[in-house]
Structure 1
């Protein structure tokens, strides 16, 4: 199974990171893809990439909630790293209008610039979109390059939004929200072909039921796979195989 989005470098794992990762490997996790946030998260992420080559794969990007007045300096750092390391994607990038709209304009500029970086390096993008799906779509359409592909990470939108993301050539990253009673994905996943889905945890955030509200970890992705299987009336192994194949195709596009 491929975990397509987990912040395993997070301080939340400072006390038991090795044990957490051991549980992940024991659960059958083949790879863990690590999204970046800003310059402060790069050292921990790259340490894990060096420690587990071929298993912990890093992305590079400036997360929208980390976009502040100094965002251009942050982008220079991301660009420098892209020149010297073979990242799998530019991410996580996007728009977040949930907590604060103060830097909306800067978020838009940062997103479009990072889309340019992704195309320059023939990489896909990992999108964080919270309370900003259509704003993000507008930017993708404004960017206007049909070769720009990626994943809408932590997708929690409607079927209409799912179909729009797919129309644009993006996969949907399905995580713990799929297990929530009122998460809404029971109205989406049954109607979306499995070829458009990949699995993630977003650990340490958004733990699936029955761990909701607690620290999430990569091994819990098995619960997400089971929920998708239940919603699509498929064997869990079929979901695991299909979503892992979908993820591997993302890497092929990025090579």
Structure 2
């Protein structure tokens, strides 16, 4: 099984990172993919990848919540890293209109700029959307020339939104929200195209039930898989095989 979105380089794991990785491996999660968020996260992310080279793989990108008035300079620094190190994706990128709309235009510019990097580098993109699926889809439709591929991570939208995302050639990342009783995903997951689904945690955030409200970790990917299996009336082994194959193909693992 693959946790396709985990921030185990974050300070929340500084005291027990080895144990966190060991618990993941014990649960059958044998790969953990690390999305970058800003300039400060690059060094700890790469150090984590270097410490667990058989388990962790890094991405490179600028998260929309870290876009500000200096975005051009920040992106110039981020872009240099693609010449220094092999990354599996451009991410985590996107649009977030939940916290603050001050830099909305800068977010959109950063998003389309990084989409174009992905085309040039032939890499998938890992997309963060919060209160912005419609805006994100509009920009993707403009940029999609058949070369773009990737995933809407932490998907918690409707069946119609899922179809629109799939029609643009993108996968859906299912995580802890899928297990929330009030999340509404019990009505959505039964109708998803499972050939376009991958699993994730987004740890340390959004821990699945029964750990909701606590620190999330990659071992809990299994809880997400079990939830998908229950809602689809499949075995967890079938979900594991399918989603792992999807992730391997998408990220060329």
Could you state the TM-score of these two structures normalised by the residue count of structure 1? 0.97
CA distance in 1, matches of 2:85, 2:118: 13
What residue is the counterpart of 1:136 in the other structure? 136
What residue is the counterpart of 2:248 in the other structure? 248
Q: Deviations over 1:11-52 (max 9, x none)?
A: 111111111111111111121000000110000000011122
In the alignment, structure 1 segments of 5+ residues that lack a partner are none
Instruction: Give SS of 1:21's match.
Output: helix
Tell me how far 1:127 sits from its aligned partner: 0.2
What residue is the counterpart of 1:101 in the other structure? 101
Tell me how far 1:182 sits from its aligned partner: 1.1
Contact 2:144 2:168 in 1 (8 A): no
CA distance in 2, matches of 1:179, 1:161: 19
Tell me how far 1:77 sits from its aligned partner: 1.4
What residue is the counterpart of 1:7 in the other structure? 7
What residue is the counterpart of 2:200 in the other structure? 200
What residue is the counterpart of 1:50 in the other structure? 50
CA distance in 2, matches of 1:73, 1:161: 34
CA distance in 2, matches of 1:6, 1:158: 24
Segments ≥4 residues shifted beyond 3 Å: none
Aligned-residue CA RMSD (Å): 0.9
Q: Deviations over 1:61-97 (max 9, x none)?
A: 0000000111111111111001121100000000000
What residue is the counterpart of 1:119 in the other structure? 119
Tell me how far 1:125 sits from its aligned partner: 0.2
What residue is the counterpart of 2:170 in the other structure? 170
Show the 5 A alignment for 1:216-235: 216-235=216-235
Could you state the TM-score of these two structures normalised by the residue count of structure 2? 0.98
CA distance in 2, matches of 1:146, 1:98: 30
What is the number of equivalent residue pairs in this alignment? 253
CA distance in 2, matches of 1:65, 1:168: 24
Tell me how far 1:193 sits from its aligned partner: 2.2
Instruction: Give SS of 2:61's match.
Output: coil
What residue is the counterpart of 1:39 in the other structure? 39
Does 48-57 or 85-94 show the bigger shift? 48-57
In the alignment, structure 2 segments of 5+ residues that lack a partner are none
Tell me how far 1:54 sits from its aligned partner: 3.6
Q: Deviations over 1:132-178 (max 9, x none)?
A: 00100111112132210100000000001000000000010000000
Instruction: Give SS of 1:105's match.
Output: helix
Contact 2:30 2:55 in 1 (8 A): yes
CA distance in 2, matches of 1:30, 1:76: 33
What residue is the counterpart of 1:179 in the other structure? 179
Q: Deviations over 1:197-223 (max 9, x none)?
A: 000000000000011011101101110
CA distance in 1, matches of 2:39, 2:30: 27
